[in-house]
Structure 1
Amino acid sequence: MPVYEYKCSTCERVFELQQKISDPPLTICSECGSTVKKLVSASAFHLKGGGWYADGYSSGSSKEAGSSESKTLPVACAGDCKTCPASS
């Protein structure tokens, strides 16, 4: 069930309430009996890990980075050696 955040217009108390999506929004403050307003708060949704964007679904730079034409340097190379493909 989602958690909704409310703020009282009189006592300015901010509180959270766990409600079903189908439940009507709260209108009365339980502390002072005044009206409350539903707040828009930050989501608890986080993208973690490799995600879809690492698989080539995003635009631009990830497609270029994954192409075979990109020049990658060996770990010990600085790009100035004669055997490195990046120096040519």
Structure 2
Amino acid sequence: MSHHGPTPSDEPVGWSLDLSAHEMLRRAHVLDALGSDWDPVEALRGEEAANALLYSGLDEEQQRVYDELVAAGVLPPRGGGSAAA
């Protein structure tokens, strides 16, 4: 067996990789890209408004399917307790 190959053992080989410094850098870049005038509450309100528009004006069959999806937990109910509601 080559000295570069795996060593047979019954013991698991443990290792870890700490990505926290990279994650902090990634978050800093995201916030920098969003800009200082980004308002997360307003963004959530806009998302809620878009969601309401998406599901407005449904015909009877579409509304029935929507209601089934909400009942099954696939879609949240309108205004479903989000911060933007």
What TM-score do you get using the length of structure 1 for normalisation?
Answer: 0.21
Decide which structure has greater strand share: 1
Q: Kindly name which structure, 1 or 2, has the bigger radius of gyration based on alpha carbons.
A: 1
Higher relative contact order (Cα pairs below 8 Å, separated by 6+ residues): 2
Decide which structure has greater helix share: 2
